[in-house]
Amino acid sequence: MKKAVILLSGGLDSATCLAVAKSEGFDCYALSFDYGQRHNVELDCAKKIAESFQVSAHSIININLQLWGGSALTDNSIDVPNAEDSHGIPITYVPARNLIFLSFATAYAEVLGAKDIFIGVNSIDYSGYPDCRKGFIDSFQETARLGTRAVDENWHFEIRTPLQNLSKKEIIELGTKLGVDYSLTTSCYNPDAEGRSCGKCASCDLRKAGFAAANIADPTKYI
């Protein structure tokens, strides 16, 4: 069976990505990161999603991007805004995050003998994040080929981005069709201790609007 590495954050998008990989018949190896997020809700969700899709392995890599600050998501001294400015790079951007995540995924794939790496990046809702754009992903794919045994063995990794051009509505429709239990996922920047979503942040707004547009009941627990 073909193997694939899936970057799994615990959010709606990466859960949908995992469902796509499963639907294509891949033997799935999920990879999550403990990078000093403000809360552990995300990783708890990632574990439940990985379990629900019966992945072959789920590894959580501990890295400390908090060391560096620079983002509202890892630096407690920066407030997460309720509504994000749609121009420029958002304060929730974590410097080079997907570059680091994809690099680990490449190393893991090389050791596993997997050639497909799934990442739930999206250009519609996250156009402000440079590391979610197609140009970056394409360039990374070539860099991964050149920096591994792939280059000497004449093959390449496929960085799979099945959500690249989908709206939140379309992502939710796709995942629902593929059996994603979205009650296991989280999107909120400011969840409470029990994992309930604030319903007010930019990420909650996007999620709520997506379920509404898809005309699918939103299973999220809000505070």
- Is 61 or 216 the residue whose CB approaches a copy of itself more closely? 61
Residue in 53, 108, 182, 189 binding a copy of itself, rule: CB under 8 A: 108
H or E, element range at 27: strand 27-34
Q: Which of 14, 73, 80, 97 binds a copy of itself (CB under 8 A)?
A: 97
Give the binding range for a copy of itself (CB under 8 A) out of 13-21, 150-158, 174-182, 193-201: 150-158
Interface with a copy of itself, residue 131, by CB under 8 A? yes
Does position 136 interact with a copy of itself (CB under 8 A)? The reply is: yes
Q: d(Cα 2, Cα 26) in Å, to the nearest integer?
A: 5
Per CB under 8 A, the list member of 54, 86, 149, 215 interacting with a copy of itself is 149
Strand partners, 118: 6, 160
Q: Which is nearer to a copy of itself, 52 or 66 (CB)?
A: 66
CB 127 within 8 A of CB 169: no
Q: If binding is defined by CB under 8 A, does position 66 make contact with a copy of itself?
A: no
Find tokens 């999603």 and name the residue.
Answer: 49
Q: Is 100 in the site for a copy of itself (CB under 8 A)?
A: yes
Q: Which stretch binds a copy of itself (CB under 8 A): 2-10, 46-54, 107-115, 214-222?
A: 107-115
Under the binding rule (CB under 8 A), the answer on residue 186 touching a copy of itself is: no
- The CA-based angle 197-200-201, given to 5 degrees, is 85
Distance of CA 39 to the CA centre of its chain: 16
Comparing CA positions, the residue from 145, 146, 157, 153 lying closest to residue 115 is 157
Does residue 104 belong to the site contacting a copy of itself (CB under 8 A)?
A: yes
Q: Which residues in 98-133 are b (16+ Cβ under 10 Å) and which e? A: bebbbebbbebbbeeebbbbbbbbbbbbbebbebbb
Distance (Å, rounded) from C-alpha 112 to C-alpha 77? 39
Binding flag, residue 106, a copy of itself (CB under 8 A): yes
Binding site for a copy of itself (CB under 8 A): 59, 61-65, 67-70, 88-89, 93, 95-100, 102-104, 106-108, 110-111, 130-131, 133, 135-136, 139-140, 142-144, 146-152
